[in-house]
Amino acid sequence: MPNSENNGRKSPRRVTLADVAREVGASTITVSRALRRPEMVSEGLRQRISAAVADLGYLPDPAARALASRRSDVIGVIIPSVTNSVFADVLSGLYDTVGGTPYNVQLGNTRYRPEIEEQLIRIFLSQRPAGLIVAGIDQTDSSRRLLESADCPVVQIMELASDPVDMLVGFSHRAAARAATEHLLDRGYTAPTFLGARMDPRSERRLQGFRDALDAVGMSTEGRELTTTEPSSVHLGGALLDRHRARAPGTDAVFCNNDDLALGAAFAAQRAGLKVGRDIGICGFNDLEVMAAAHPSITSVRTFRRQMGETAALRVLDHLGGKETGPRVVDLSYKLIPRSSTDRGA
Protein backbone atom coordinates (compact mmCIF):
# COMPACT_ATOMS: atom_id res chain seq x y z
CA MET A 1 0.00 0.00 0.00
CA PRO A 2 1.15 3.49 -0.74
CA ASN A 3 1.27 4.59 2.90
CA SER A 4 2.35 1.34 4.45
CA GLU A 5 4.97 2.94 6.67
CA ASN A 6 2.07 5.08 7.73
CA ASN A 7 4.24 7.73 9.34
CA GLY A 8 3.28 6.41 12.70
CA ARG A 9 -0.31 7.67 12.41
CA LYS A 10 -3.25 5.34 12.30
CA SER A 11 -5.45 5.46 9.26
CA PRO A 12 -7.52 8.57 9.92
CA ARG A 13 -11.05 7.89 11.08
CA ARG A 14 -13.63 8.30 8.41
CA VAL A 15 -15.86 11.36 8.35
CA THR A 16 -19.38 10.16 9.03
CA LEU A 17 -22.85 11.56 9.00
CA ALA A 18 -22.57 11.94 12.75
CA ASP A 19 -19.62 14.27 12.33
CA VAL A 20 -21.57 16.46 9.96
CA ALA A 21 -24.57 16.35 12.26
CA ARG A 22 -22.52 17.40 15.26
CA GLU A 23 -20.97 20.21 13.25
CA VAL A 24 -24.33 21.76 12.40
CA GLY A 25 -26.11 20.75 15.58
CA ALA A 26 -28.67 18.49 13.95
CA SER A 27 -29.37 14.79 14.04
CA THR A 28 -27.84 12.31 11.66
CA ILE A 29 -31.14 11.49 10.07
CA THR A 30 -31.66 15.11 9.16
CA VAL A 31 -28.29 15.27 7.49
CA SER A 32 -29.12 12.05 5.71
CA ARG A 33 -32.32 13.60 4.47
CA ALA A 34 -30.64 16.79 3.41
CA LEU A 35 -28.46 14.71 1.15
CA ARG A 36 -31.10 12.49 -0.37
CA ARG A 37 -34.31 14.50 -0.22
CA PRO A 38 -33.24 18.12 0.19
CA GLU A 39 -36.81 19.36 -0.15
CA MET A 40 -37.64 17.73 3.17
CA VAL A 41 -35.21 19.92 5.05
CA SER A 42 -35.58 23.60 5.78
CA GLU A 43 -33.63 25.99 3.64
CA GLY A 44 -31.29 27.31 6.30
CA LEU A 45 -30.40 23.97 7.77
CA ARG A 46 -29.90 22.53 4.35
CA GLN A 47 -27.35 25.19 3.52
CA ARG A 48 -25.44 24.79 6.75
CA ILE A 49 -25.37 21.07 6.11
CA SER A 50 -24.03 21.49 2.59
CA ALA A 51 -21.36 23.77 3.94
CA ALA A 52 -20.36 21.29 6.63
CA VAL A 53 -20.32 18.43 4.15
CA ALA A 54 -17.97 20.31 1.89
CA ASP A 55 -15.96 21.47 4.85
CA LEU A 56 -15.38 18.11 6.38
CA GLY A 57 -15.13 16.38 3.05
CA TYR A 58 -17.89 14.00 3.92
CA LEU A 59 -18.57 11.18 1.48
CA PRO A 60 -21.37 8.70 2.08
CA ASP A 61 -20.35 5.12 2.70
CA PRO A 62 -22.05 3.07 0.00
CA ALA A 63 -21.78 -0.11 2.04
CA ALA A 64 -23.57 1.38 5.03
CA ARG A 65 -26.13 2.87 2.74
CA ALA A 66 -26.71 -0.42 0.98
CA LEU A 67 -26.98 -2.30 4.23
CA ALA A 68 -29.46 0.07 5.80
CA SER A 69 -31.59 0.62 2.73
CA ARG A 70 -31.29 -2.91 1.40
CA ARG A 71 -30.48 -1.48 -1.94
CA SER A 72 -27.06 -0.92 -3.48
CA ASP A 73 -26.08 1.72 -5.99
CA VAL A 74 -24.80 -0.90 -8.40
CA ILE A 75 -26.27 -1.35 -11.83
CA GLY A 76 -25.03 -4.75 -12.87
CA VAL A 77 -24.22 -5.33 -16.52
CA ILE A 78 -23.66 -8.81 -17.85
CA ILE A 79 -22.08 -9.22 -21.26
CA PRO A 80 -20.24 -12.06 -22.99
CA SER A 81 -17.07 -10.18 -23.92
CA VAL A 82 -15.22 -7.00 -23.08
CA THR A 83 -12.98 -7.01 -26.12
CA ASN A 84 -15.70 -7.28 -28.71
CA SER A 85 -16.07 -3.73 -29.94
CA VAL A 86 -19.79 -4.22 -30.34
CA PHE A 87 -20.15 -4.48 -26.59
CA ALA A 88 -17.58 -1.75 -26.08
CA ASP A 89 -19.91 0.65 -27.85
CA VAL A 90 -22.87 -0.46 -25.79
CA LEU A 91 -20.82 0.00 -22.65
CA SER A 92 -19.76 3.42 -23.71
CA GLY A 93 -23.39 4.46 -23.99
CA LEU A 94 -24.11 2.91 -20.62
CA TYR A 95 -21.26 4.60 -18.82
CA ASP A 96 -22.05 7.96 -20.37
CA THR A 97 -25.64 7.71 -19.24
CA VAL A 98 -25.05 6.33 -15.77
CA GLY A 99 -22.08 8.59 -15.10
CA GLY A 100 -23.27 11.64 -13.23
CA THR A 101 -26.06 9.73 -11.51
CA PRO A 102 -25.59 8.29 -8.03
CA TYR A 103 -25.39 4.83 -9.54
CA ASN A 104 -22.41 2.75 -10.52
CA VAL A 105 -22.01 0.33 -13.34
CA GLN A 106 -20.48 -2.98 -12.43
CA LEU A 107 -19.55 -5.31 -15.24
CA GLY A 108 -19.76 -9.05 -15.40
CA ASN A 109 -18.05 -10.91 -18.22
CA THR A 110 -19.54 -14.29 -19.08
CA ARG A 111 -17.00 -15.14 -21.77
CA TYR A 112 -19.91 -16.65 -23.65
CA ARG A 113 -20.48 -19.28 -20.97
CA PRO A 114 -24.04 -19.74 -19.71
CA GLU A 115 -22.94 -21.21 -16.40
CA ILE A 116 -20.80 -18.17 -15.71
CA GLU A 117 -23.72 -15.97 -16.62
CA GLU A 118 -25.86 -17.75 -14.06
CA GLN A 119 -23.22 -17.38 -11.41
CA LEU A 120 -22.83 -13.69 -12.19
CA ILE A 121 -26.56 -13.15 -11.89
CA ARG A 122 -26.48 -14.78 -8.46
CA ILE A 123 -23.58 -12.66 -7.35
CA PHE A 124 -25.19 -9.48 -8.58
CA LEU A 125 -28.48 -10.33 -6.93
CA SER A 126 -26.67 -10.90 -3.66
CA GLN A 127 -25.67 -7.25 -3.86
CA ARG A 128 -29.30 -6.14 -4.15
CA PRO A 129 -28.50 -4.18 -7.29
CA ALA A 130 -30.34 -1.05 -8.30
CA GLY A 131 -30.79 -2.57 -11.73
CA LEU A 132 -29.59 -5.31 -13.99
CA ILE A 133 -28.76 -5.18 -17.69
CA VAL A 134 -28.03 -8.44 -19.43
CA ALA A 135 -27.02 -9.12 -22.99
CA GLY A 136 -29.20 -11.44 -24.96
CA ILE A 137 -32.33 -13.45 -24.39
CA ASP A 138 -30.79 -16.88 -24.24
CA GLN A 139 -30.40 -17.28 -20.52
CA THR A 140 -30.63 -20.76 -19.03
CA ASP A 141 -33.92 -21.61 -17.39
CA SER A 142 -32.58 -21.04 -13.94
CA SER A 143 -30.91 -17.79 -14.96
CA ARG A 144 -34.21 -16.63 -16.28
CA ARG A 145 -35.99 -17.58 -13.08
CA LEU A 146 -33.41 -15.68 -11.08
CA LEU A 147 -33.94 -12.61 -13.22
CA GLU A 148 -37.69 -12.91 -12.92
CA SER A 149 -37.46 -13.01 -9.18
CA ALA A 150 -35.18 -9.96 -9.02
CA ASP A 151 -36.77 -7.05 -7.26
CA CYS A 152 -35.03 -4.49 -9.42
CA PRO A 153 -35.55 -3.36 -12.99
CA VAL A 154 -34.05 -5.78 -15.50
CA VAL A 155 -33.25 -4.89 -19.10
CA GLN A 156 -32.25 -7.43 -21.70
CA ILE A 157 -30.36 -5.91 -24.59
CA MET A 158 -29.04 -6.71 -28.07
CA GLU A 159 -32.05 -8.64 -29.26
CA LEU A 160 -35.75 -8.58 -29.79
CA ALA A 161 -38.29 -10.92 -28.20
CA SER A 162 -41.92 -10.86 -27.28
CA ASP A 163 -41.45 -12.22 -23.79
CA PRO A 164 -38.76 -10.20 -22.05
CA VAL A 165 -38.05 -10.88 -18.41
CA ASP A 166 -38.90 -7.26 -17.74
CA MET A 167 -37.71 -4.70 -20.30
CA LEU A 168 -35.85 -5.13 -23.53
CA VAL A 169 -33.88 -2.91 -25.89
CA GLY A 170 -32.54 -4.34 -29.11
CA PHE A 171 -33.25 -5.25 -32.67
CA SER A 172 -33.93 -8.30 -34.79
CA HIS A 173 -30.72 -9.91 -35.92
CA ARG A 174 -32.70 -12.19 -38.15
CA ALA A 175 -34.45 -9.37 -39.95
CA ALA A 176 -31.22 -7.42 -40.26
CA ALA A 177 -29.40 -10.37 -41.75
CA ARG A 178 -32.23 -10.99 -44.13
CA ALA A 179 -32.08 -7.40 -45.30
CA ALA A 180 -28.34 -7.71 -45.88
CA THR A 181 -28.77 -10.86 -47.90
CA GLU A 182 -31.59 -9.37 -49.92
CA HIS A 183 -29.31 -6.45 -50.68
CA LEU A 184 -26.75 -8.86 -52.15
CA LEU A 185 -29.43 -10.45 -54.32
CA ASP A 186 -30.80 -7.06 -55.35
CA ARG A 187 -27.36 -6.02 -56.42
CA GLY A 188 -27.26 -8.92 -58.81
CA TYR A 189 -25.09 -11.39 -56.97
CA THR A 190 -26.29 -14.89 -57.68
CA ALA A 191 -24.27 -17.14 -55.41
CA PRO A 192 -24.01 -15.63 -51.91
CA THR A 193 -22.51 -17.46 -48.95
CA PHE A 194 -22.85 -16.92 -45.22
CA LEU A 195 -19.53 -16.68 -43.40
CA GLY A 196 -19.78 -17.02 -39.65
CA ALA A 197 -17.52 -17.31 -36.62
CA ARG A 198 -18.21 -17.90 -32.94
CA MET A 199 -21.82 -18.77 -33.75
CA ASP A 200 -23.45 -17.75 -30.51
CA PRO A 201 -27.25 -17.53 -30.46
CA ARG A 202 -27.18 -14.10 -32.08
CA SER A 203 -25.08 -15.43 -34.92
CA GLU A 204 -27.48 -18.30 -35.34
CA ARG A 205 -30.31 -15.85 -35.77
CA ARG A 206 -28.36 -13.98 -38.39
CA LEU A 207 -27.81 -17.24 -40.19
CA GLN A 208 -31.58 -17.75 -40.06
CA GLY A 209 -32.09 -14.37 -41.67
CA PHE A 210 -29.70 -15.35 -44.42
CA ARG A 211 -31.69 -18.52 -45.00
CA ASP A 212 -34.95 -16.58 -44.98
CA ALA A 213 -33.72 -14.43 -47.83
CA LEU A 214 -32.56 -17.35 -49.93
CA ASP A 215 -35.74 -19.31 -49.22
CA ALA A 216 -37.81 -16.36 -50.35
CA VAL A 217 -36.32 -16.53 -53.80
CA GLY A 218 -36.24 -20.31 -53.90
CA MET A 219 -32.49 -20.54 -53.64
CA SER A 220 -30.95 -23.46 -51.82
CA THR A 221 -28.65 -22.80 -48.88
CA GLU A 222 -26.82 -26.04 -49.58
CA GLY A 223 -23.08 -25.35 -49.56
CA ARG A 224 -23.74 -21.69 -48.95
CA GLU A 225 -22.86 -21.61 -45.28
CA LEU A 226 -19.42 -21.73 -43.78
CA THR A 227 -19.31 -21.37 -40.04
CA THR A 228 -16.94 -22.11 -37.23
CA THR A 229 -17.00 -21.87 -33.47
CA GLU A 230 -13.63 -20.13 -33.38
CA PRO A 231 -13.69 -16.59 -32.07
CA SER A 232 -14.02 -14.03 -34.78
CA SER A 233 -11.08 -12.08 -36.16
CA VAL A 234 -10.02 -10.23 -39.27
CA HIS A 235 -7.60 -12.98 -40.08
CA LEU A 236 -10.30 -15.61 -39.77
CA GLY A 237 -12.49 -13.72 -42.25
CA GLY A 238 -9.76 -14.04 -44.83
CA ALA A 239 -9.18 -17.68 -44.04
CA LEU A 240 -12.88 -18.49 -44.32
CA LEU A 241 -13.13 -16.76 -47.67
CA ASP A 242 -10.08 -18.56 -49.02
CA ARG A 243 -11.35 -21.89 -47.76
CA HIS A 244 -14.77 -21.37 -49.24
CA ARG A 245 -13.52 -20.18 -52.62
CA ALA A 246 -11.37 -23.26 -52.90
CA ARG A 247 -14.45 -25.44 -52.56
CA ALA A 248 -16.99 -23.27 -54.29
CA PRO A 249 -15.23 -21.19 -56.93
CA GLY A 250 -18.52 -19.88 -58.24
CA THR A 251 -19.21 -17.87 -55.11
CA ASP A 252 -19.71 -14.25 -56.03
CA ALA A 253 -20.74 -12.75 -52.70
CA VAL A 254 -20.43 -13.26 -48.94
CA PHE A 255 -22.53 -12.04 -46.09
CA CYS A 256 -20.30 -11.98 -43.04
CA ASN A 257 -21.51 -12.49 -39.56
CA ASN A 258 -19.66 -9.37 -38.48
CA ASP A 259 -17.42 -6.61 -39.74
CA ASP A 260 -14.13 -8.17 -38.70
CA LEU A 261 -14.81 -11.13 -40.92
CA ALA A 262 -15.92 -8.87 -43.75
CA LEU A 263 -12.78 -6.80 -43.51
CA GLY A 264 -10.65 -9.92 -43.50
CA ALA A 265 -12.57 -11.27 -46.48
CA ALA A 266 -11.94 -8.02 -48.36
CA PHE A 267 -8.21 -8.22 -47.67
CA ALA A 268 -8.08 -11.85 -48.72
CA ALA A 269 -10.00 -11.11 -51.90
CA GLN A 270 -7.55 -8.37 -52.82
CA ARG A 271 -4.69 -10.65 -51.99
CA ALA A 272 -6.15 -13.18 -54.41
CA GLY A 273 -6.30 -10.55 -57.09
CA LEU A 274 -10.06 -10.13 -57.02
CA LYS A 275 -11.69 -6.76 -57.37
CA VAL A 276 -13.97 -6.33 -54.38
CA GLY A 277 -17.44 -5.36 -55.53
CA ARG A 278 -17.03 -6.43 -59.12
CA ASP A 279 -15.64 -9.92 -58.60
CA ILE A 280 -16.98 -10.54 -55.16
CA GLY A 281 -19.61 -8.78 -53.13
CA ILE A 282 -18.92 -8.40 -49.42
CA CYS A 283 -21.33 -7.33 -46.73
CA GLY A 284 -20.52 -7.06 -43.04
CA PHE A 285 -22.59 -6.63 -39.92
CA ASN A 286 -22.59 -3.79 -37.33
CA ASP A 287 -21.02 -1.08 -39.44
CA LEU A 288 -17.94 -0.37 -37.39
CA GLU A 289 -16.22 2.87 -38.23
CA VAL A 290 -13.58 1.15 -40.33
CA MET A 291 -16.11 -0.05 -42.90
CA ALA A 292 -16.68 3.41 -44.35
CA ALA A 293 -12.98 4.26 -44.31
CA ALA A 294 -11.81 1.05 -45.92
CA HIS A 295 -10.62 0.92 -49.52
CA PRO A 296 -12.87 -0.02 -51.09
CA SER A 297 -15.53 0.93 -48.58
CA ILE A 298 -17.47 -2.04 -47.28
CA THR A 299 -21.22 -2.46 -47.14
CA SER A 300 -22.61 -3.27 -43.73
CA VAL A 301 -25.73 -3.31 -41.62
CA ARG A 302 -25.58 -0.51 -39.12
CA THR A 303 -26.68 -1.31 -35.61
CA PHE A 304 -27.25 1.28 -32.92
CA ARG A 305 -25.04 -0.05 -30.21
CA ARG A 306 -24.23 3.08 -28.25
CA GLN A 307 -27.87 4.05 -28.30
CA MET A 308 -28.72 0.60 -27.04
CA GLY A 309 -26.55 1.20 -23.98
CA GLU A 310 -27.99 4.66 -23.45
CA THR A 311 -31.57 3.50 -23.79
CA ALA A 312 -31.09 0.53 -21.50
CA ALA A 313 -29.53 2.74 -18.85
CA LEU A 314 -32.31 5.29 -19.19
CA ARG A 315 -34.98 2.64 -18.80
CA VAL A 316 -33.34 1.52 -15.57
CA LEU A 317 -32.88 5.05 -14.29
CA ASP A 318 -36.47 5.96 -15.14
CA HIS A 319 -37.73 3.02 -13.18
CA LEU A 320 -35.55 3.91 -10.26
CA GLY A 321 -36.79 7.47 -10.44
CA GLY A 322 -40.33 6.19 -10.32
CA LYS A 323 -41.19 7.11 -13.89
CA GLU A 324 -42.40 3.84 -15.24
CA THR A 325 -43.25 5.33 -18.58
CA GLY A 326 -42.25 4.06 -21.96
CA PRO A 327 -42.70 0.71 -23.60
CA ARG A 328 -41.25 -2.46 -22.15
CA VAL A 329 -39.78 -3.37 -25.51
CA VAL A 330 -37.75 -0.94 -27.59
CA ASP A 331 -36.82 -1.92 -31.14
CA LEU A 332 -33.84 0.11 -32.26
CA SER A 333 -33.90 -1.53 -35.68
CA TYR A 334 -30.94 -1.47 -38.09
CA LYS A 335 -29.98 0.20 -41.31
CA LEU A 336 -28.33 -1.21 -44.39
CA ILE A 337 -25.47 0.99 -45.58
CA PRO A 338 -24.62 0.11 -49.18
CA ARG A 339 -21.05 0.81 -50.22
CA SER A 340 -18.53 -0.08 -52.89
CA SER A 341 -17.99 -3.65 -51.74
CA THR A 342 -21.40 -4.60 -53.07
CA ASP A 343 -21.29 -2.45 -56.19
CA ARG A 344 -20.65 -4.71 -59.17
CA GLY A 345 -20.10 -1.77 -61.47
CA ALA A 346 -17.50 -0.12 -59.27
Residues within the interface to DNA (CB under 7 A): 13-14, 16-18, 25-30, 32-33, 35-36, 39-42, 44-46, 58, 60-61, 64-65, 67-71
Task: Check if the beta carbon of residue 205 is closer than 8 Å to that of residue 140.
Answer: no
Residue 30 touches which member of DNA, a second copy, none, C-beta under 5-8 Å by kind: DNA
Going from the C-alpha of 183 to that of each of 158, 194, 267, 298, 300, the distances in angstroms are 23, 13, 21, 13, 10
Handedness of CA 199, 201, 205, 208 (dihedral sign): positive
212 or 338, CB closer to a second copy?
Answer: 338
Residue 47 touches which member of DNA, a second copy, none, C-beta under 5-8 Å by kind: none
254 touching a second copy, by CB under 8 A:
no
Residue 289 touches which member of a second copy, DNA, none, C-beta under 5-8 Å by kind: a second copy
CB of 89 to DNA, least distance (A): 34
CB of 33 to DNA, least distance (A): 6
Alpha helices, H only, 3-42: 17-24, 28-36
Residue 235 touches which member of a second copy, DNA, none, C-beta under 5-8 Å by kind: a second copy
39 or 163, CB closer to DNA?
Answer: 39
From CA 138, how far away is CA 156, in angstroms rounded? 10
Q: Inter-axis angle of helices 43-56 and 17-24, to 10 degrees? A: 130
The H or E element containing residue 76 is: strand 74-79
From CA 301, how far away is CA 335, in angstroms rounded? 6
16 or 227, CB closer to DNA?
Answer: 16
10 or 37, CB closer to a second copy?
Answer: 10
Alpha-carbon Rg of the chain, whole angstroms? 26
Among 75, 294, 312, 317, binds a second copy (CB under 8 A): 294
**Interaction residues for a second copy, span 69-128 (CB under 8 A):** 72, 81-83, 85, 88-89, 91-92, 95-96, 99, 104-107, 109, 111, 116, 122-123, 125-128
CB of 144 to a second copy, least distance (A): 10
Strands 74-79 and 131-135, how do they pair?
parallel
From CA 257, how far away is CA 177, in angstroms rounded? 8
CB of 132 to DNA, least distance (A): 19
162 touching a second copy, by CB under 8 A:
no
The 3-class SS string of 146-182 reads HHHHCCCCEEEECCCCCCCCCEEEECCHHHHHHHHHH
CB of 104 to a second copy, least distance (A): 6
36 or 323, CB closer to DNA?
Answer: 36
**Site stretch for a second copy (CB under 8 A), options 44-52, 145-153, 199-207, 247-255:** 145-153
Q: ∠246-300-213 over CA atoms, to 5°?
A: 70
From CA 276, how far away is CA 269, in angstroms rounded? 7
From CA 182, how far away is CA 209, in angstroms rounded? 10
CB of 85 to a second copy, least distance (A): 6
Integer distance in angstroms from the first to the last C-alpha of the chain?
Answer: 62
Residue 51 touches which member of a second copy, DNA, none, C-beta under 5-8 Å by kind: none
Q: Which residues bind a second copy (CB under 8 A)?
A: 1-3, 11, 59-67, 72, 81-83, 85, 88-89, 91-92, 95-96, 99, 104-107, 109, 111, 116, 122-123, 125-128, 147-154, 165-166, 233-235, 237-238, 260, 263-264, 267-268, 270-271, 289-290, 292-295, 319
